[in-house]
Amino acid sequence: MNVIEIKNLTKNYGKSRGIEDISFNVEDREVFGFIGPNGAGKSTTIRTLLGLIYPASGAATIFGKSCIDNPEIRKDIGYLPSEVFYYDKMRVIDLLKYSASFYNKDCTKRINELAEIMDLNLKKRIDDLSFGNKKKVGIVQGLLHEPKLIILDEPTSGLDPLMQQRFFELLVQENNKGATIFFSSHILSEVQKMCHRVAFIKEGKIIKLEKMSTLKESAYKKVKVEAKNHIEKDYFKMSGVNNLEVNGNIANFIFNGNINSVMKKITDLELYNVWVDDPDLEEIFLHYYAKED
């Protein structure tokens, strides 16, 4: 069963921004990552899904219904926007109670639990909170009604590493309880830890949709080698090596495959230094583009 279905969704803002012909599904109980650089159309997709903006063409449904025609389906959705803004003059607890009042159930217990986990002071006024603390209010606000679908737009920005970890633990718990999670990020490593599938979006188009298990098998490594002597241009030409650049005694490339084969190749050289890193998203994108060409 699909919780989210997006079919040929298109939304234009003038010429540059927007999304074009986006289609994908998110299955029940799945953790789905939506990855792309800033301005790629992640938020636009999410906002269309939630009924905040209207698509130019195509359709986005949740539990088989559109948020625009059936606003009541939002009672099963928890949404955390990328930048959180709340009524400044309210106290945290009053805002959370106001939020809870939309769901026709007593959420007091859950509010207190979540506030404790996220270490959030409920007595403070919203405008006295730092960015990170506002984000925590957003997290509690998005989860207090125990939604079946959790939609998160860049959820970890502003959170310190400890809170990020607690937040991810919280999400794993919710997922184990049966919640479907859809979240966007521009950091692949953030998503890697918990996603089942990821979709990559760039310039308003989905360029790749892959199972996390497949992505992990083809673990991409960014390799830089500095040898004592000049490296032959073709020395690293082998299967799994992409974006190869050789410059004198320095070689850069992205490797994808059995790591042993390339390590043997490297150890055959007389080395000054070697760096093996996880590539950032941009480099994986470049790799995808190279493949398509």
Partner 1 sequence: MNIFLHELRANRKTTGIWIGSISAVIILYMSVFPIVTKDPATFEKMLRSNPAFNSFIASISNIGSILGFYSFVFSFILLLGAIQAMNLGASILSKEIRDKTADFLLTKPVSRVKIMTSKLLASLVLLLATNIACYAVALIMAFAVKTNDFDEKIFFLITATLFLVQLIFCALGVIISVIIQKLRSVLPISLGSVFAFFFISMFISTDKDDLIRFISPFKYFDTGYIINHSSYEIQYLIAEAVFIILAVAASYIIYSKKDIHAV
Contact footprint for partner 1 (CB under 8 A): 43-44, 47, 50-54, 71-75, 77, 79, 81-83, 85-89, 98-99, 101-103, 141
Residues 6+ apart with CB under 8 A from 108: 100
DSSP 278: P
Nearer to partner 1, 71 or 248 (CB): 71
Written as one string, the DSSP assignment of 132-191 is HHHHHHHHHHHHTT--SEEEEESTTTT--HHHHHHHHHHHHHHHHHT-EEEEEES-HHHH
Nearer to partner 1, 50 or 281 (CB): 50
Nearer to partner 1, 102 or 213 (CB): 102
Structure tokens at 48: 């269309």
Nearer to partner 1, 62 or 284 (CB): 62
Q: Which amino acid is at 53?
A: I
CB of 172 to partner 1, least distance (A): 23
Nearer to partner 1, 61 or 141 (CB): 141
CA distances from 280 to 188, 190, 254, 284 (A): 7, 11, 11, 7
CB of 162 to partner 1, least distance (A): 26
CB of 122 to partner 1, least distance (A): 17
CA distances from 112 to 137, 168, 270 (A): 12, 18, 60
Question: How far apart are the C-alpha atoms of 143 and 148, rounded to whole Å?
Answer: 10
Nearer to partner 1, 82 or 242 (CB): 82
Question: How far apart are the C-alpha atoms of 136 and 130, rounded to whole Å?
Answer: 10
CB of 2 to partner 1, least distance (A): 20
Nearer to partner 1, 19 or 254 (CB): 19
CB of 106 to partner 1, least distance (A): 14
Do residues 209 and 60 make contact, with C-beta atoms less than 8 angstroms apart? no
CB of 145 to partner 1, least distance (A): 9
Question: How far apart are the C-alpha atoms of 137 and 154, rounded to whole Å?
Answer: 15
CB of 54 to partner 1, least distance (A): 6
